[in-house]
Amino acid sequence: MGRYYVHALIALTIISAVSLVQSPQTGAYGTSHEAQLHSIEMARVGLDAAQSSLDSGDAEGAAHAAGFAAEQFVLDMERHRAANPSLTAEIHLALLDLPPAIQSQSSNIEADMAATYRMLEGFDAPAADLRLTVSALLGAAEEQYAMYDRDGVDSAYDLSWRLFERADAIFRTDADPDVMWDREQISFFDDISEAVSERASFVRVGTLVSAIQRDIAGTETAVLDQARLYANIRDLYSRMLAAVDNGDYNTAEELAIEAYLENFEHLEPALEAVDAEFMYALEIDMREELRIMLKREIPTDEIREFVEGSILVDLEKGEIMTAAYLQETAGTAPEPVQRETAERGSTTGEQQAAVRDEIDFIRESLREMQAHYRNGDYESAYAAARTAYLDSYEHVEIPLRPIDPDFTLEVEYQFAELRNLIKERAPHEEIGGVATAIERNLDESERLVTGTGQVAPLIAFSASFAIIFREGLESVLILGAIITYLEASRNSRFKPYVHYGIVAAIGATAVTWVVASYIVEISGANRELIEAVAALSATGVLFYVSFWILNKIEHKKWMEFVKAKVWQATTTGGVMVFSMLSFFTVYREGFETVLFYQAMLGFAKYMEAYVGAGFAVGIASLLLLYFVMRRLGRRLPLRALFGLTMGIGAYLSIAFLGNAVRELQVLDIVPYTSMLGTIPRLDINMATMTGIYPTLETVVAQVVLLAVYLVAAGYVLILRPKRERAMQQMRKSRGAGAEDM
């Protein structure tokens, strides 16, 4: 439950972090050191609350408070890393490990909590204007109180009370009781204490908090501070280019980071208010593109051209725009900008490629971890799990967090849970279960960062169209033949019963879909295993159907099959015969369709709309086909149609097989032999649509199935017809010889 509460806070705390660091006393938007102090202070309060809850036996409240501490620290990770990278990593891991350790009632939790608190105490955060810290604490307390007021979460109330108390204590230490302004704020604090102790409505508490924050923020213009920040950036870039000229790319990168983190970030709110799109583009150039160039040690001339010809030009433009804006809004308090999450796939191609590389490394590390754990080498297993997160997933988080902060935190906790289980030497099945969940979320991480692309959705559309068209083709042909026969034999009175059977079959197919989906949902079985079984079942059925079509690809053989069906119905007699024939003709295909679509939707995540469009177009094509056959009396090119559907069915079965084997590998049922560098590493969407993964087992399975199809097609389409022609020629020769005698 504690983890759930933290998730609910993320969006709100991000917004608060943006708006609460504005103050006239220290400049427009504060400094990075001040932000460090805020997050560390709130993390300490969270740990204090967690310890108090543990002492009173409230594990749920302790997990909630520890989760809050972790989230607050994470919100300012980049600045923490810049100040103390090694200690930041240790604190980050320790904070993430605490909530799952509390929930699992780890015997070491007291020692872990104390060690984490000591590390926070030892973090060197420079002194700052304490009123900014007060404002940040009040904002966090307000959010916790809102959760309590809305959902009745007692642990949120306890945490909000502690945050209010800490803000009050800091403010009274810094306040000057002789100043009227401070006396008014102290009065507000007294009112808040009274309201919270009475558990008053959130509206009352929120109004008081807003009043204090408005007083702390003030209403002065930030024009002078803006000019200073722009000057700082220009000076830092000048020093950065000098470092690049000397070949010192490490120093250059540090200066570029300082220009962005400690200066440009404080200019963003005003730029965003004037032209958000312009601000985001400049932010990407400074935060990502320039750092990538420095990491890759691009030649000096290219870096200089990018900085002087692009970034500095845009900075000058931004300074002019925001100067006019700040003059116009002088004397008014700016409204905080609500930051929206980024779009899925709104990252650069380089970021997407980097994320794929990191995810591949994490998969290898997780498999290495499980191998060590099975062998009883727990220290190596822990080191591998730690490496998977600290050396790789943290880099995935950078582009992922703006897209889905809730999901990012969820994966962080999964890694923390994995490390805790390893430390506690949990059963291997538990370790494997968490590792499987992480692997599942690695796919999701890649999807969120890379988006669906363009080719994969087209494949999803085409495959969906092919499934419904292939499954409906046989039904259309058989039903068309039945109705044609009834009309030709003047038995049109039976036609309604054929239609009744069709309607009943469609209804039964819909029920089958609902039941299948419901059973999967409530089964509680492993999702990967269900998807693997569905994919293997679909592969088997497609394999059978493809060969069945292959044997009837000749028009003559197909018509013989249809005539046999119709003859069977007419000779049996009775209206129910036609209803049952049409029912089973449609329902058999409908049942297969349910199986195929269940398998496909398991792999076509975020492409469901394309799957639905393919289904709709397929249905429309079948209706058109039926119209052509019935109304216009056209003879259908069965050989071409059956050949096409057979080929598509073979492709789908090969794709399903690759996905099934891959899911079984995730479950550690099938071995995993990496072929990265030998087999193309497709993005996750293309991989799921083709079943192609860089592992030996998936490739061998697909190649074997493809070989079977090729051999069978060669036999049916080439070798068998050749033999039949030879046999016919032989019979003709013998017949001619007999006539001569």
Task: Give the CATH fold of the 349-449 domain.
Answer: Four Helix Bundle (Hemerythrin (Met), subunit A) (1.20.120)
Residue appearing with tokens 């280019």: 241
Side chain identity, residue 36: Q
User: In which region does residue 199 sit, left (phi positive, over 0), alpha (psi from -120 to 50) or beta (all else)?
Assistant: left
**pLDDT more than 90, % of the chain:** 10
pLDDT of residue 1: 37
Give the model confidence (pLDDT) of 238-260 as tens digits: 989 999 999 999 888 878 877 87
DSSP letters of 186-253?
HHHHHHHHHHHHTT--HHHHHHHHHHHHHHHH-----HHHHHHHHHHHHHHHHHHHHHHHTT-HHHHH
Nearest partner of 504 among 588, 582, 596, 618, judged by Cα: 582
Categorize the per-residue pLDDT at 656 as very low, low, confident or very high, splitting at 50, 70 and 90: confident
pLDDT tens-digit map of 664-694 = 888 878 888 888 888 888 888 888 888 899 9
Q: What are phi and psi of 22, to 5 degrees?
A: -100, 130
Quick one: tokens of 143?
């959010």
Residue 557 in this model has a pLDDT that exceeds 70: no
Residue 51 belongs to what H/E stretch?
A: helix 32-55
Q: Is the pLDDT assigned to residue 17 strictly greater than 60?
A: no
Torsion of CA 407, 36, 30, 336, to 10 degrees: 20
pLDDT value of residue 13: 33
pLDDT, tens digit (0-9, with 9 covering 90-100), for 392-431: 887 888 888 888 877 887 888 788 788 878 888 889 888 9
Give the range among 185-194, 500-509, 517-526 with minimum mean pLDDT: 517-526
Confidence bin at 81 (pLDDT 50/70/90): confident
* Tens digit of each residue's pLDDT (9 = 90 or more) over 439-485: 889 989 999 998 888 888 888 898 888 888 877 877 777 777 667 76
Q: Which regions of 597-695 does DSSP assign to beta strands (E)?
A: none
Residues 6+ away with beta carbon under 8 Å from 739: none
Measured CA to CA in angstroms, residue 461 lies from 379, 446, 595, 617 at distances of 48, 21, 17, 9
Q: What is the pLDDT of residues 333-371, one digit of tens each?
A: 344 434 456 788 888 888 888 899 999 999 999 999 999
Range scoring the smallest mean pLDDT among 66-75, 183-192, 194-203, 379-388: 183-192
Please say whether the beta carbons of 82 and 12 come within 8 A.
Answer: no
Instruction: Tell me how far apart the alpha carbons of residues 25 and 225 are, in angstroms, rounded to a whole number.
Output: 11
Domain ranges of the chain: 2-217, 223-328, 349-449, 455-699
Q: The pTM is what?
A: 0.56
Instruction: Indicate the average pLDDT of the chain.
Output: 76
Distance of CA 465 to the CA centre of its chain: 26
Q: Exposed (0-12), middle (13-18) or buried (19+): which is 177, by Cβ within 10 Å?
A: exposed
Q: Which of 28-32, 296-300, 526-530, 563-567 has the lowest mean pLDDT?
A: 28-32
The confidence score (pLDDT) of residue 274 equals 86
What token pair was written down for 308?
């002087």
